[in-house]
Protein backbone atom coordinates (compact mmCIF):
# COMPACT_ATOMS: atom_id res chain seq x y z
CA UNK A 1 0.00 0.00 0.00
CA UNK A 2 1.23 3.47 -0.84
CA UNK A 3 -0.08 6.95 -0.50
CA UNK A 4 -0.13 8.86 -3.71
CA UNK A 5 3.18 10.64 -4.28
CA UNK A 6 4.97 8.79 -1.50
CA UNK A 7 7.90 6.49 -2.19
CA UNK A 8 8.04 5.13 1.34
CA UNK A 9 6.82 1.56 1.33
CA UNK A 10 4.45 0.08 3.88
CA UNK A 11 6.82 -1.66 6.22
CA UNK A 12 5.18 -4.51 8.10
CA UNK A 13 8.08 -4.68 10.55
CA UNK A 14 7.26 -1.37 12.23
CA UNK A 15 4.07 -0.19 13.97
CA UNK A 16 1.44 1.50 11.83
CA UNK A 17 2.01 4.84 13.60
CA UNK A 18 5.66 4.73 12.49
CA UNK A 19 4.69 4.16 8.84
CA UNK A 20 2.18 6.99 9.06
CA UNK A 21 4.81 9.38 10.46
CA UNK A 22 7.17 8.45 7.60
CA UNK A 23 4.48 8.98 4.98
CA UNK A 24 3.34 12.27 6.46
CA UNK A 25 6.93 13.52 6.75
CA UNK A 26 7.63 12.64 3.12
CA UNK A 27 4.50 14.55 2.10
CA UNK A 28 5.64 17.55 4.14
CA UNK A 29 2.66 17.14 6.45
CA UNK A 30 4.14 16.94 9.92
CA UNK A 31 3.78 20.14 11.95
CA UNK A 32 7.33 21.46 12.05
CA UNK A 33 7.73 25.11 12.91
CA UNK A 34 8.17 26.08 9.25
CA UNK A 35 4.99 24.19 8.28
CA UNK A 36 3.06 25.92 11.08
CA UNK A 37 4.33 29.32 9.90
CA UNK A 38 3.06 28.61 6.38
CA UNK A 39 -0.35 27.87 7.93
CA UNK A 40 -0.15 31.25 9.70
CA UNK A 41 -0.01 29.66 13.15
CA UNK A 42 2.05 31.89 15.42
CA UNK A 43 4.64 29.71 17.13
CA UNK A 44 7.25 32.35 17.92
CA UNK A 45 10.69 31.09 17.07
CA UNK A 46 11.26 29.03 13.92
CA UNK A 47 14.50 27.63 15.28
CA UNK A 48 15.02 23.88 15.51
CA UNK A 49 14.48 22.65 19.07
CA UNK A 50 17.20 20.01 18.75
CA UNK A 51 20.15 22.18 17.72
CA UNK A 52 18.96 25.79 18.17
CA UNK A 53 20.87 26.72 15.01
CA UNK A 54 18.60 26.56 11.96
CA UNK A 55 14.99 26.82 10.85
CA UNK A 56 13.04 23.71 11.73
CA UNK A 57 12.00 22.16 8.43
CA UNK A 58 11.38 18.46 7.80
CA UNK A 59 14.58 18.07 5.80
CA UNK A 60 16.57 19.98 8.42
CA UNK A 61 15.21 17.94 11.31
CA UNK A 62 15.94 14.54 9.79
CA UNK A 63 18.92 15.11 7.47
CA UNK A 64 20.76 18.33 8.28
CA UNK A 65 20.38 18.96 12.01
CA UNK A 66 23.61 18.51 13.94
CA UNK A 67 21.79 16.19 16.30
CA UNK A 68 20.53 13.88 13.57
CA UNK A 69 23.37 13.97 11.06
CA UNK A 70 26.54 14.29 13.07
CA UNK A 71 25.45 12.17 15.97
CA UNK A 72 22.41 9.95 15.57
CA UNK A 73 22.81 8.79 11.96
CA UNK A 74 26.51 8.08 12.43
CA UNK A 75 25.71 5.94 15.49
CA UNK A 76 23.06 4.11 13.48
CA UNK A 77 25.52 3.58 10.60
CA UNK A 78 28.06 1.91 12.83
CA UNK A 79 25.45 -0.05 14.81
CA UNK A 80 23.95 -1.50 11.59
CA UNK A 81 27.29 -1.64 9.73
CA UNK A 82 25.96 0.60 6.97
CA UNK A 83 27.86 2.59 4.35
CA UNK A 84 27.78 6.38 4.89
CA UNK A 85 24.22 7.57 4.87
CA UNK A 86 24.10 10.60 2.58
CA UNK A 87 20.63 12.08 2.75
CA UNK A 88 19.76 15.55 1.56
CA UNK A 89 16.03 15.16 1.88
CA UNK A 90 13.62 13.04 3.89
CA UNK A 91 12.89 11.00 0.76
CA UNK A 92 16.61 10.13 0.48
CA UNK A 93 16.36 8.50 3.92
CA UNK A 94 13.35 6.43 2.96
CA UNK A 95 14.95 5.04 -0.21
CA UNK A 96 18.45 4.53 1.22
CA UNK A 97 17.85 0.80 1.89
CA UNK A 98 17.23 0.23 -1.84
CA UNK A 99 20.83 1.27 -2.59
CA UNK A 100 22.28 -1.49 -0.42
CA UNK A 101 23.62 -4.69 -1.87
CA UNK A 102 21.79 -6.91 0.59
CA UNK A 103 19.02 -9.44 0.98
CA UNK A 104 15.41 -8.29 0.92
CA UNK A 105 15.14 -8.98 4.64
CA UNK A 106 18.22 -6.91 5.49
CA UNK A 107 16.90 -4.04 3.39
CA UNK A 108 13.58 -4.22 5.25
CA UNK A 109 15.40 -4.28 8.58
CA UNK A 110 17.50 -1.25 7.60
CA UNK A 111 14.36 0.64 6.56
CA UNK A 112 12.81 -0.33 9.91
CA UNK A 113 15.75 1.09 11.85
CA UNK A 114 15.68 4.30 9.80
CA UNK A 115 11.94 4.68 10.38
CA UNK A 116 12.33 4.03 14.10
CA UNK A 117 15.11 6.62 14.21
CA UNK A 118 12.81 9.13 12.53
CA UNK A 119 10.19 8.26 15.13
CA UNK A 120 12.67 8.85 17.98
CA UNK A 121 13.85 12.18 16.51
CA UNK A 122 10.26 13.39 16.21
CA UNK A 123 9.41 12.18 19.72
CA UNK A 124 12.49 13.87 21.23
CA UNK A 125 11.60 17.07 19.38
CA UNK A 126 8.02 16.95 20.69
CA UNK A 127 9.15 16.13 24.24
CA UNK A 128 11.53 19.11 24.12
CA UNK A 129 8.91 21.42 22.65
CA UNK A 130 5.83 20.50 24.67
CA UNK A 131 7.18 18.92 27.86
CA UNK A 132 10.40 20.93 28.19
CA UNK A 133 12.44 17.72 28.26
CA UNK A 134 16.16 18.13 27.77
CA UNK A 135 17.54 16.50 24.60
CA UNK A 136 19.84 13.66 25.59
CA UNK A 137 21.40 12.35 22.40
CA UNK A 138 22.65 9.14 24.01
CA UNK A 139 19.07 8.39 25.12
CA UNK A 140 17.85 8.83 21.54
CA UNK A 141 20.30 6.16 20.35
CA UNK A 142 19.25 3.85 23.20
CA UNK A 143 15.58 4.39 22.31
CA UNK A 144 16.20 3.46 18.66
CA UNK A 145 18.07 0.30 19.67
CA UNK A 146 15.40 -0.68 22.17
CA UNK A 147 12.52 -0.13 19.71
CA UNK A 148 14.20 -1.68 16.66
Q: Which residues bind Zn ion (CB under 5 A)?
A: 48, 50-51, 65
At 139, give phi and psi (nearest 5°). Answer: -65, -35
Q: What is the C-alpha separation between 119 and 90, in angstroms, rounded?
A: 13
Q: Which is nearer to Zn ion, 97 or 125 (CB)?
A: 125
Residue 86's contacts (CB-CB under 8 Å, 6 or more residues apart) are: 92
Q: Which is nearer to Zn ion, 60 or 97 (CB)?
A: 60
In the complex, the smallest distance separating the C-beta of residue 51 from Zn ion, rounded to whole angstroms, is 3
In the complex, the smallest distance separating the C-beta of residue 67 from Zn ion, rounded to whole angstroms, is 6
In the complex, the smallest distance separating the C-beta of residue 134 from Zn ion, rounded to whole angstroms, is 15
Q: Which is nearer to Zn ion, 34 or 112 (CB)?
A: 34
In the complex, the smallest distance separating the C-beta of residue 36 from Zn ion, rounded to whole angstroms, is 16
Q: What is the C-alpha separation between 93 and 139, in angstroms, rounded?
A: 21
- Distance of CA 8 to CAs 69, 122, 146, Å? 20, 17, 23
Amino acid sequence: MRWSGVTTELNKLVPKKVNILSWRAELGKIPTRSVLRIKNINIGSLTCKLCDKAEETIDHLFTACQMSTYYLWSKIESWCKLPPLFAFSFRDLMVFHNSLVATKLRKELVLSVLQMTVWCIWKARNDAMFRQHRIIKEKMVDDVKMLS
